[in-house]
């Protein structure tokens, strides 16, 4: 049944690229009515994926709010910072004992990690576990901070880190089908603008090759670049 529904939706997808607002309206109209699907933004970049200097990453705050509440783990040995991070919404907090737990279990039930600078050397042994999961705190994405609670609050308010995949694509959740269209559009524009500003100096030619919006279980709609 799911396949039939998808194929039926795909047959209705406009062949031409649409304005952002029109594309969002189409997704809301043709989405499943039984539940609110996540609206996903997919950006294909015109970069050489074999050149490390062309790797694209950055941060952006979604003005319309976060589409998905992420589980945040905080590494800090300071008890006051641990309490503040928990109050701000962190789901896991700890110091060296949390590092030992990660090493023992070989995983961490989180979507993003934040650490204080003094914890980074102590986290290093767990890099073999956190690295493959994309969970190593990184100063470039603002996840290494003397104010971990502040970072957690920013994440809850819609701040996210983006980075391209191995094929030169970016994928971000920008809303739900039951949201106001204006909120989704604001998030789309914020991400696209942030990606454009993150263009590597070494990138040549057209940087943003294509933009597609799709729902979790539906086909993609091309958006005018």
CATH number of the domain that residue 183 is part of: 3.30.190.20
Does 4 fall in a domain?
A: no
Phi, psi of 34 (to 5 degrees): -75, -25
Does 10 fall in a domain?
A: no
Examine the domain organization and report whether 125 and 178 are in the same domain: no
Examine the domain organization and report whether 105 and 216 are in the same domain: no
Examine the domain organization and report whether 181 and 110 are in the same domain: no
Cβ-contact 74, 90 below 8 angstroms: yes
For the chain, give percent helix, strand, coil, nearest 5. 40, 25, 40
Reported residue count of the chain is 225
Which candidate, 129, 131, 133, places its Cα nearest to that of 104?
A: 129
**Domain carrying residue 203:** 15-66+159-223
**Helix ranges, 106-208 (H):** 120-123, 127-130, 148-156, 181-197
pLDDT at 9 over 70: no
Summarize pLDDT for 109-163 with one digit per residue, the tens: 999 999 999 999 999 999 999 999 989 999 988 999 999 999 999 998 899 889 8
Last residue of a domain, one of 99, 130, 156: 156
pLDDT at 48 over 70: yes
The pair of structure tokens assigned to 104 is: 């023992």
Examine the domain organization and report whether 100 and 148 are in the same domain: yes
Does 2 fall in a domain?
A: no
Examine the domain organization and report whether 89 and 149 are in the same domain: yes
User: CATH no. for residue 121?
Assistant: 3.40.50.790
Does 7 fall in a domain?
A: no
Examine the domain organization and report whether 146 and 97 are in the same domain: yes
pLDDT at 211 over 70: yes
For 129-168, the DSSP string reads: HHTTTT----GGGT-B-S-HHHHHHHHHTTEEEEE--TTS
- pLDDT of the residue at 84: 98
Does 118 fall in a domain?
A: yes
Does 9 fall in a domain?
A: no
- pLDDT of the residue at 225: 74
Examine the domain organization and report whether 171 and 186 are in the same domain: yes
Examine the domain organization and report whether 173 and 62 are in the same domain: yes
Summarize pLDDT for 51-66 with one digit per residue, the tens: 999 999 999 999 999 8
Count of structural domains within the chain = 2
């Amino acid at each position: 049944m799911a396949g039939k529904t998808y194929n039926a939706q795909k047959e209705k997808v406009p062949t031409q690229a649409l304005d952002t607002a029109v594309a969002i309206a189409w997704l809301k109209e043709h989405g499943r009515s039984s539940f609110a699907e996540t609206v996903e933004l997919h950006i294909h970049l015109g970069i050489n994926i074999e050149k490390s200097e062309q790797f694209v990453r950055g941060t952006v705050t979604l003005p319309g709010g976060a589409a998905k509440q992420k589980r945040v783990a905080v590494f800090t040995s300071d008890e006051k910072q641990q309490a503040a991070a928990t109050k701000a919404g962190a789901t896991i907090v700890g110091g060296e004992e949390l590092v030992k737990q990660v090493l023992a279990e070989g995983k961490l039930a989180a979507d993003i990690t934040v650490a204080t600078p003094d914890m980074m050397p102590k986290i290093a042994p767990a890099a073999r576990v956190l690295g493959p999961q994309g969970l190593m705190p990184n100063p470039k994405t603002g996840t290494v901070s003397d104010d971990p609670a502040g970072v957690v609050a920013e994440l809850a308010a819609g701040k996210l880190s983006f980075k391209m995949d191995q094929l030169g694509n970016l994928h971000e959740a920008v809303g739900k089908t039951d949201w106001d269209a204006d909120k989704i559009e604001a998030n789309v524009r914020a991400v696209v603008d942030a990606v454009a500003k993150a263009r590597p100096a070494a990138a040549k030619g057209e940087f943003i090759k294509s933009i597609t919006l799709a729902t979790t279980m539906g086909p993609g709609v091309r958006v005018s670049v």
